[in-house]
Amino acid sequence: MFTGIVQALGTLRQLDRRGEDIRLTVSAGKLDMSDVALGDSIATNGVCLTVVEYGEDYYCADVSSETIRLTGFAHYRAGSQVNLEKAMRPTDRFGGHIVSGHVDGVGTISSITEHADYFEIWVKAPDDLAKYIAHKGSITVDGVSLTVNEVRGAEFMLWIIPHTLQETVIGSYKAGSQVNLEVDVVARYLERLMLGDKAAAPKASGIDMSFLAENGFLRK
């Protein structure tokens, strides 16, 4: 479990292909590695990864093909910077919101506008995530806990202060940049709870009369 408060900027030192998977070597930057052990979790640009090897200033983690497919890791290269956060302890300050490190989808930066003391950033989320994004709600972008300031359909707006730009990969964003998104876990549970007894029913196939007509199985 994480809070979305980034502890350091790391750098992808090496990406080794292992079949369809990748073994990452991450330079930890300012991240305190003194209490890291094998099997620990470190959020890497919002993706919960397990430490399989480590040293004083680096760690290695394996990224499965499924994770590559569902996150921005498909576009990362050696030299790419990543936000780092170690898993929280019960005694830590809870400065952000509940973050699982399980990315829900990849968004795209639509625009960035500089104001006097903040940056206005619009992000286009995948359509299927729009229902979970609410005005003044929380969202995780590349592992950073942020507040949604405005919503327009599947697009949402963030206000980013200069400190956040300096201490996270958000400072490198430009229009078109792809970002890992994790919606508020509370919204996920609320959706499931609202199903009531229907939650136990088998998932529908999604095939109905409309689907058959659109795909040419029914004559007009």
* Residue 209: pLDDT over 80: no
* Residue 200: pLDDT over 90: no
- What is each CA distance from 11 to 68, 77, 158, 185, in whole angstroms? 17, 10, 25, 28
> Which of the two residues, 186 and 178, has the higher pLDDT score?
178
Mean pLDDT (the chain) is 91
Helix spans in the chain (H): 65-70, 162-167, 185-194, 209-214
* Residue 21: pLDDT over 90: yes
8 Å CB contact between 103 and 71: yes
| 105-196: CATH, from 2.60.40.1250, 3.90.79.10, 2.40.30.20, 3.40.50.11900 | 2.40.30.20
Give dist(CA 10, CA 57) in Å, integer.
Answer: 10
pLDDT reported for residue 56: 95
Structure tokens at 157: 């707006």
Give dist(CA 105, CA 87) in Å, integer.
Answer: 21
Q: What percent of the chain has pLDDT over 70?
A: 92
Strand partners, 108: 124, 178
Q: Where in the chain is the domain with CATH 2.40.30.20?
A: 8-86, 105-196
* Residue 211: pLDDT over 70: no
pLDDT reported for residue 207: 56
* Residue 158: pLDDT over 80: yes
The topology under which CATH files domain 8-86 is Elongation Factor Tu (Ef-tu); domain 3 (2.40.30)
